[in-house]
Structure 1
Amino acid sequence: MRLFDLSLQFKMPLWGGGLIIATALALSTSFVIQTWDSLHQEIHKNAQDIGRTMARSLFPVMLHDEVWQAFEIVSLPFAAIPSAALAESLMVLDSAARVYVSSRPEDHPVLSPLASLGGELAELDRAFPRAPDADVFVLDNGQGQHIYVTLPIVNDGVRLGTLVVAYNKSLLWQRFTNLLGNALWVTLLVLGVLLPISAYWGRRMMQPMRLITERISRIGSNEFEALDASLYPYKDEVGQLFSAYADMRSKLMEKAELEKEMIKSERMAAVGRLTASIAHEINNPLGGMLNAISTLKRFGSPDPVMQKTVSLLERGLSQVRDTVAALLVEAKVKSRPLSPTDLEDVRILVNHAARKHATQLSWDIALPEAVTLPSTLVRQVLINLLLNAITAAGQGGQVALRVHTDAHGVSMVIQNNGKSLSPAQLGRLFEPFTQFSDNGNGLGLWICYQIVTQLGGTIQAESDSVLTRFSVCFPLNSSETP
């Protein structure tokens, strides 16, 4: 796997850590360069300070050829001036470039030509300027062990000699490595603090992104999982992405619910058309068969066996006729407007079944006056739903009816505390011949659905571990008493 294909929860800390390390290396490199330059500048300044201090003292001493006093002068900085500790030795040359006096006479004998001392000093003899107006000269051979700084001893344009300050590179490197070590420890300390912070914030920033990615990847399987807004309560781009996902989830859920309702409506309409066409096709021969049986009973043989057989056929065909009639639900019947008295009648009609099952009925009716709904059909819907609820609640159960009106229509809610319905049962609840109990023919809820939809209303069912609830809404603005 390529680096750029890694998850952002890994790439963000890696990129952040890489930038921190690169920044630390750049700063450390800059510090090293500045430190090295500062040490060189410190050497030059140290040499100039020593030269200017001693030049005035050495000129009269050399003028009077007082060698011992000159030796005391060049030896004094190593004991009296702490900053001179950078220098390894001081040496005074006369005008002929011979050693006049040195802080280390054992290494630089008096009156020894500088060139005779060999090595780096011979190279210095060839390189340093001897003019009276010469400036400070520095010899720093990359292969050598010392850095030499020469300063002319001049007064009133007369040059009596040259002061040579020698610095050992090992002391310079020792100081440089000490400073470099301190800088390295500080850099590691900063990295030790910043890298964990970068890793934490990288994961903290990418966790919401990872959750949104997981949720979006599961949308195709119709899983619309919500995201806890407290995971990222901020209003930046990630927070806006959280809000956009919540809006998208809400709209997709509405779309899925709408599609579900459309499919259900189309399925119910198709079933309705199919059952109606079948019922019509059955009714024609069924009517003829019932007429033939009626004629046979009236004019046929009085034989008891035949009469009994004919009666059995008539009852069976009558039951078929009733079933077919149930499949041809029509809301176009003459009926008066629905009034509070009709709801009281419904209560009286279902009381017998409620007492039989010891069911506790709860009645909450807010219907102040008659409304433009066909009372016969609405009563049929309520009776079917209430009887189903009493049966579902079981022995000693509870059933509640709540009816109220507003400017838009009449709402009715029937609920019971019986056994809950599964999602599969809820999906096929209003289809004909769908039985969820041993009693009935599975047409009661189908009839309710047909009546409600033909009156322009809606009927819905929901069930959980506590209650099963049927909600019916009848519009008043489009409903008229037939």
Structure 2
Amino acid sequence: MDGFRRIPLSLRVPLLTAGLMVLLGVVASQQVLSTLGKVQDARIRELAQLQIEALSVALGPHVLRDDIWEIYDTLERAAGETKGRRMIFTVVADENGRVMAATDPVRAPLDSPISALTEGAQTAQTLSVTGDAVQVRLLAPLRYQGRTVGQIMTELDVADLISERLRAGQLLLLGNAVATGVLSILGYLAMRRMLMPIARLVRRMRETADAPEPIPESDLPRGDTEMTRLVKTYNAMTDAVEAKAETERRLAERERFVSLGRLSSSLAHEINNPLGGLLNAADTIRQYSDRPDVVRQSADILTRGLNHLRDVAQATLDQNRLDRSSAPLTFEDFEDLRLLIGPEVSRQEQKLRWQIGASGEALSTFASAPIRQILLNLLLNASAAAGAKGEVSLLVSEKPGVLCLIVEDSGDGLSDAARTRLLSDAPVPPGGGVGLRLVHDLVKELNGCIRSERADHITIVDVTVPLQQSGMPPPC
């Protein structure tokens, strides 16, 4: 069965059709032979009944008178008239079953019991020819004028009927075999032709698995059949696959340009934000050039800010991935952030709350560049959301195995587009800034998580990242 299932459908169905036709031919032949046998049995019963009735009419008076010689003479005449025909041997017995006369007295002596000769005998109503027998034995009551006066046992020759049955059976089997064979071949070829589109479709799908190609119109099945609709559906599918591939190519091309735009925007965003603080430090040096302590402090800020810009540029060159080999995060990085956003906070007369509650050991497990970029983007967005005379807060704390960075503002809260950029991986349309999406990507690379909520008119963005040496699983 498993081997048959491995045969292709285009070959399995024709073979099954041919097999069913052969089975149908065999069943039909058996039915015809059975019907022929029944017809012959009916014919034999009819002949036997006529034979018995004729003998009963001729022998009845002689049996009543117990005239043995007349009975014998009648049997002789009947046997002579049927010479070369059906009756071979006939015995007549009285009511007590004693033989009165027979066509062969040697086989049936006078006054012997007829029961010795009736083994295997049949009645006229159930007479039938079975097997290869060429003779049948019939036992029937001898009736005369409505009464039973004795018994008749006769043997009939049915060799011609058996021969006729065998000849008819042979001719029937030969004819059925030829017809079944021809019909099986025609059925096989017809089914193969009908299933050819499926075989062609399977072959085309196997040969063009990577880039399916439509089947030419010249190879489509004629008419509006299921096969035609199947092939047309396949052609429509190939067109859809080709259109989808073209769409994906165009989307990839568009995404490439969008990525380039995001890359340029990110680079400009990350360079432009610190420039205000750096220019402010340069102005401080120019104004207080006679104060060495102020000059040193401003020079340190310039150095760290320029190093940060170098890290950003290097990260951009490394396919927008941050340089993990940059300097570790320290308290000075937070002071730099405070100085960098200072001009923007002062310009809008905002209140800035700043609290760094983590240990230096915990901070040193992180590279400074990603944390600085995360906080710088969040603080700039918070300052823009808080507006004039608003409030902005940065709270950094250390919990078991994690570092918590919380940025708060008194603005109206994040818009749906901003929440999508910050909290989800869903694609966003180009434009509208890249700061929040960059924060999302950086936190994800650090195995951290971001939560945003609004309470008491305050928008809270909570960034939690695991300490590098803690071995803790991601907090989200």
Shorter chain as denominator, the TM-score bin is: 0.3 to 0.5
